[in-house]
Chains A and B, each alone.
Chain A
Amino acid sequence: MSAHVLVPSPIFLKTYEDHTVLYHSGTGDTHLLTTDAVTILALLNSDAKAIHTLIAEVAESLNYQMSDDFSDHIRALLFDMKALDIVEFI
């Protein structure tokens, strides 16, 4: 995996009680996001970030204990988001 991740196209979010709906202006697709994915997008709001920095910030933001499992979970989530063109690795 490359070292940095960013959000390449404008996205629009609508948050409900349980999930957040995302509209991706680049692809025209709509997705249902979990809290972890929304947190990633919020942290990537302004700039590209190094992946290890992003994972640490997600853990802190959600009050999770940093661990290999958590790191793997966020990396897998980033791959899923990349497959949907929501994020891009540079």
Chain B
Amino acid sequence: MKKTISNLDSEELRLSLRTTGVRLRSGPFVYRITSPIEVVAQGLEVLYSDFPLLGDDSYVDFNVAIAPPWFLRRWFRPKIDFYFDYQAPFKSLPVQQSFAFLEWGMNWCISTFANQHLKIHAAVLERGGKALIMPGVPGAGKSTLCAALMYRGWRLLSDEHTLIDETNLVVPLGRPVSLKNKSIDVISEFESGCVKGPRSIDTHKGDVVHLKPTKESIVRIDEKAYPCWIVSPRYIEGSETKLVQVSKSDTFMSVAAQSFNYNLLGEKGFEMMSVLVDSCECYELSYSSLDEAIKTFDMLENAI
């Protein structure tokens, strides 16, 4: 039986975080996380309880930590840093934002490294082996829609990174869904049983909360999915749900612009993007009702 974070009791988890670190696997990547900060332990306990836990001798892709920058900062206007391989690439943040900072740092590791995949800034979910890719500019409502779909039978592959491998399959990460500001209440109302991590207040994105992925999303973390739809959602208050087919050439350009490493991969990136867009139907979705939007996706899925 696989060991998960939930197999550690509260004391063990905190001791590991303070000493050897917790090695957890998210899809193909292993993070070693260390932190003396209580809110980090709470967040991992709540949101990552079903994630595979690896032994101290396992290979680590990303060695990360959340810790105070220097001695006095522990008491004087306490702040924390995100460390990657003992370097702090970002400015310090208030200690209260520790868990959001960890999540952003973990995302940064994948955005910056992991170039064996074509990486797109998009939420991605799966049903029936078919992947729905939702790129979207910040504020378009993709994370809200992603969370709602996750609670209505779609398997979460990732809220932030769509990773495409060399065989044109989507590689799941299954990490928590990030919600901001109004979306937190919207999803709390939409799914009363949703499990939320620590709330980070007054961040540069506003208030931020992360949602625990559904059990299915973690249990099937190694099951890749075939990309079938690229849908760019846009939340427009009071609008009717409208799904419009868009050209593959426009989709190619917009998805390439939202890729973290399309340019870096050069000719290989062009080939991978060509195959990806070829395999997908491409749409834009405007919506204001989550229920209506979900019905639209259900119809799309049933149409294939």
Q: Which residues of A contact B (CB under 8 A)?
A: 12, 14, 16-21, 23, 25, 28, 30, 32
Contact = CB atoms under 8 A, between A and B. Distances in A.
Interface in B240-295: 247-250, 252-253, 256, 262-263, 266-267, 270-271, 274, 277
A16 B248 contact: yes
A30 B264 CA distance: 12
A18 B247 CA distance: 8
A22 to B, nearest CB: 9
Q: Is the interface of B mostly helix, strand, loop or mixed?
A: helix
Contacts, number: 38
Interface residues of B, number: 15
B247 A30 contact: no
A25 to B, nearest CB: 6
B253 A32 contact: yes
Contacts of A19: 247, 249-250
Nearest to A21: B252
Given A21-B252, A32-B253, A14 B247 contact: no
B154 to A, nearest CB: 28
Nearest to B264: A28
A56 B235 CA distance: 49
A25 B249 CA distance: 19
Nearest to B282: A16
A19 B229 CA distance: 20
A7 to B, nearest CB: 16
Nearest to A30: B256
* Nearest 7 interchain pairs by C-beta: A23-B270, A19-B249, A16-B249, A16-B248, A14-B274, A21-B252, A18-B247
